[in-house]
Amino acid sequence: MSSLEKYITEAALEVFASMIFIEITPGAPLTGRDDTIDSNLTSMIGLAGDLRGVLAVHCPEEAAKGITGAMLGMDLDEIDEDVKDAIGEIANMVAGGLKTALLSEGTAIELAIPTTAVGKSIRTSGFTGAFRFIIPFTTPAGDFGIELRYVTS
Amino acid sequence: MEDFSDIIPKIVEATQEIFTGMVMMEISLDGEPLAEIGTMKNSITGMVGLAGTRKGMLAVHFPNSLALAITTSFLGMEVEEMNEDVQDAIGEIANMLGGNVKTILSDKGRDIQLSLPSTISGEEYTFMSQNEVDQIVLPFKAPAGVFFVELELER
């Protein structure tokens, strides 16, 4: 596992341990060109500075509602403002964890703002020349993935 | 609320410059700015994040048919399906426009940095921004359809 893969996995585990309180198990990073995670809700946040990139949290509907429900202690019937805010905040906090970890090795990045797209089988893509990986996660509330696309300067 | 009245003419000018100079397509503003974009159908969105003294996101939203026409004109070769060439072209338009917005918002663009551009596409999707942002959506008309430029800035 590369250090970026490790930083993102650790940041996600930390966010779940401090805010969501459900079991979460990381899987092996997916690095294939055609590897994707089904998504009905994707929260993205841009990264700028020594590493230019985009971090995206991809959730099928079940996971988006289940994770938000666990975080807020309530049941959710549909993807609403609460779900968008919760997954957007997870993207923001995982990116914040990555920023802190990178700074400890002398790589400085700044974060943009999280934006969320909701839809049916939405596809994301990045710049063809960028590096890319997805960490899949399993939780009792549903499975989801965190993707990083980046170039180093 | 962010006052976009000074910024809007500059974004319009930058968008027209990119389309005239790089895409080889004449475009014009198509009506008044909108408060939000609504649901996109059979579309592709290119976006780039802004970080630094101003944090935000710049997005360009195109229907698939217009995205194909733009990519064809931009690359100078016929593109008939929504493939990587289209994703790269739409991401690059977001990137170029983000570069201009950076200099519009900050003297010489020194204090703002851009993230990597990315695209979202699909049959039907809706963008939802976080609560602490102001946003503006500008509609533009191109020969092959209407598209939107959206700027979100954190308060």
Q: What is the CATH number of the domain that holds B135?
A: 3.40.1550.10
Q: What is the residue-averaged pLDDT of chain A?
A: 95
**CA distances (Å), B31 to each of B6, B28, B146, B148, B152, in order?**
17, 9, 11, 11, 19
Q: Which residue has the tokens 């596809």?
A: A123
Q: Bridge-partner residues for A118, per DSSP?
A: A41, B126
Residues A10, A18: contact at Cβ < 8 Å? no
Beta carbons of A44 and B125 less than 8 Å apart: no
Which two tokens mark B131? 């609560």
**How many angstroms separate the CA of residue A72 from the nearest CA in chain B?**
17
Contact in structure between B54 and B153 (CB atoms under 8 Å) = yes
B150 part of a folded domain: yes
Distance of alpha carbon B129 from alpha carbon A50, whole angstroms: 26
- Give the total number of structural domains in chain B: 1
Query: What tokens appear for B107 in the block?
Result: 């003297």
- The answer to whether the beta carbons of residues B117 and B94 sit under 8 Å apart is yes
Domain that holds residue B122: 7-154
The H-assigned helical ranges of B31-83 are 64-75
Taking the CA of residue B64 and the nearest CA in chain A, the distance in Å comes to 13
CA B99 to CA B91: how far, in whole Å? 12
Q: Which residues on A lie below 8 Å from B120 (Cβ)?
A: 42, 44, 117, 122-124
Integer-rounded Cα radius of gyration of chain A: 14
Share of chain A above pLDDT 90, in %: 88
Residues A46, B124: C-beta atoms closer than 8 Å = no
- Assess if residue B1 is contained within a domain: no
What's the pLDDT score for residue A104? 96
pLDDT (tens digit, 9 = 90+) per residue, B15-69?
999 999 999 999 999 999 998 899 999 999 999 999 999 999 999 999 999 999 9
Is B125 a member of any domain?
yes
Amino acid making up residue A104: S
By the 8 A CB rule, do B73 and B125 touch? no
- CB–CB contact B91 A125 (8 Å): yes
Locate the DSSP E strands across chain B: 28-29, 39-52, 56-63, 112-114, 118-129, 133-142, 145-154
Contact B64, B42 (CB under 8 A): yes
Nearest to A128 among B49, B56, B88 (CB): B88
Rg of chain B in Å (alpha carbons): 15
Residues of A in contact with B91 (CB under 8 A): 125-127
Q: For residue A115, which of A41, A60, A59, A63 has the smallest C-alpha distance?
A: A41
Q: Which fold has domain A3-152?
A: Chemotaxis protein chec (3.40.1550)
Burial (CB count within 10 angstroms: exposed 0-12, middle 13-18, buried 19+), residue B108: exposed
Which chain A residues contact residue B57 at CB under 8 A? Answer: 46, 112-113, 115
CB A108, CB A153: distance < 8 Å: no
The residue ranges of every structural domain in chain A are: 3-152
Q: What would the mean pLDDT of A31-49 be, rounded to a whole number?
A: 92
Helix (H, G, I), strand (E, B), or coil: what is residue A104? helix
Residue at B2 is within a domain: no
Q: What is the pLDDT of residues A53-109, one digit of tens each?
A: 999 999 999 999 999 999 999 999 999 999 999 999 999 999 999 999 999 999 999
Cα A16 to Cα B45: distance, rounded to the nearest angstrom: 30
Q: What pLDDT band is residue A127 in, cutting at 50, 70 and 90?
A: confident
Chain A residue numbers with beta carbons less than 8 Å from the beta carbon of B40 are 119
In a domain, B105, yes or no: yes
CA B139 to chain centre: 10
Residue B121 β-bridge partners? A123, B44
